[in-house]
Amino acid sequence: MELRRKQPIGVELVKRGIVTEIDIEKALQYQKEHPNKKLGDILYILDVCDPTKLIEAIGDIVGEKGIILNPSKIKIKLTDYISLDIAKENKAVPFEINNGKIKICFANNAKNKNIDNLRLIMLNKGLVMESYITFESDIERILKSLEGTSREDFALEGRNDTVTNLVDSIIKTGIDRRASDIHIEPMADEVRVRYRIDGELFTAAKINKSKQQQVIGRLKAISNMHQEKQEAQDGRILLYDDYNIRVSSQPNVYGEKFVLRLLKKNENIKNIFDLGFPATEDELKRSINKRNSITIIAAPTGEGKTTTLYSIIDYLNSPEINITTIEDPVEIRIRGLNQIEIDENKSSFSSSLRTVLRQDPDVILVGEIRDTETGEIAIQAGQTGHYVLSTIHTIDAIEVITRLRKLGLSDYDISSTLATSISQRLVRKLCTKCRKERAFNDEEKKIITSLGEKYGVDFDLSGQTYDAVGCKHCNNTGYYDRIGIFEILNITDEIKEEIMNGKSSLEIRKKALEQNYKPLLIDGIGKVIKGLTTLDELNKKLLFY
């Protein structure tokens, strides 16, 4: 059987009557001067034929659907599905989603592996990808417009004519934009400034490389760091009213990177229920207001453990109770509390906790259980009439038990003292000024119903959900602020018995599920149904589809 050799795309276009041989000759001449341009894009630039017919024919020849992509056809926010960097790298623009299928348009010279890469990314998000192709210049124009909007959104405020004013402008803009952290990062040919807002990093500015040493010198000067040291240092900036800015420097291959943590000195403590805590007030009281016990908040770094601790302490705070906190550092000062800040050169959580026990406390907040000694003293405090609140790094409320065991605490001590473990994550809240209402699609209903059946929860999907859109109020992200999703494990007598008998976390989880324990996912889906966040945002944290 004779195999037909694939014809060059120019020959195919002439055969189909889309262009003439003279058009192809002009295009080939143009290509000699612009060797990086593909023939189809050159014909589009030369405007020798109908562009719609041209891209449809090219699509048919290469086995893809060809379309003219313009802004009016883009129905979704690109960065909700892929980052701008990934879009540039793959020359791709997601433009529509319907019934679990996402349409993504590629430049007509995109390699097959680019299409395959995006297909895998979408499958991980629970979406089936339909690929289209268009002219590379249209893809570049759309991506450039998005990049321009991003830069405009994060333009530095104030004067930056001198290095002093430039650094001041970077910090003040971060404060105004609600950033929790500012990253100032030397790169190969520039200095990048990024803000972390609602848990996400955004590029704010790029500074000329020639100013790098001056910027570093200014940051060291106002942070009370050693100018001559080319090694990791910690400092503080106290020049801004109401803000205590912690500064960390770390050398990298291009210079010294700085991260500024913006901490408001007198920030109002959020009510525990405003944080998204899912229990009723009576349930909260049963979970936390106890003596002879410990409550532990569990989550990875940056997921709001300290904020939840502060909210619980504020809820418990009254003149009749002696509350003492041991923190590293004290992030928010609360009236009526005895707050102790750890000095790593002079004290530790364990040594400070020993001292605090002689100060007649009713409630003790220990910033974090980091080691066996702190864990043992916290357990002893709980066993001798105190109520102890602390945090630990684990993935969920059940694994708190495993973590305490690994620190060397006995099953007896854990079962007799641990009253409640709470796990949490922070997800971005939909911006109420621009969110777009719609019905749940079939794919979303399938995912949510399946999870509900797994955990014995009947979710009502008859109402509306929302898509993130983006406006000036939310810096065009579609989200504003964050809210917690929680799971609460109350250590009942039955679970105490499981712990005492040395049962594994899997066996303890099974028993807990029988007693109305619900994992993080269930609270998260509840908040999606209430219109507080989106299924995609929840999946970014919990990876359940």
Distance between CA atoms of residues 384 and 58, nearest Å: 78
Distance between CA atoms of residues 305 and 315, nearest Å: 15
Half-sphere exposure of residue 325: CA atoms within 13 angstroms, side-chain side = 26
Residue with tokens 């229990």: 279
Distance between CA atoms of residues 11 and 19, nearest Å: 9
Q: What is the pLDDT of residue 345?
A: 65
Distance between CA atoms of residues 445 and 443, nearest Å: 5
Q: What is the pLDDT of residue 5?
A: 41
Q: Which domains does the chain have, with CATH numbers?
A: 9-148 (3.30.300.160), 154-264 (3.30.450.90), 281-428+482-518 (3.40.50.300)
H/E stretch holding 505 reads: helix 505-514
Distance between CA atoms of residues 300 and 416, nearest Å: 26
pLDDT along the chain (545 residues), means of 10: 56 91 90 86 89 92 89 82 82 87 86 77 82 90 68 59 89 91 95 92 88 94 90 92 91 95 82 91 82 91 90 90 87 84 76 88 91 91 91 94 96 95 95 90 92 94 88 82 96 96 96 94 96 92 85
Q: What is the pLDDT of residue 423?
A: 96
Q: What is the pLDDT of residue 2?
A: 37
Answer yes or no: pTM beyond 0.75.
no
Residue with tokens 């450039």: 144
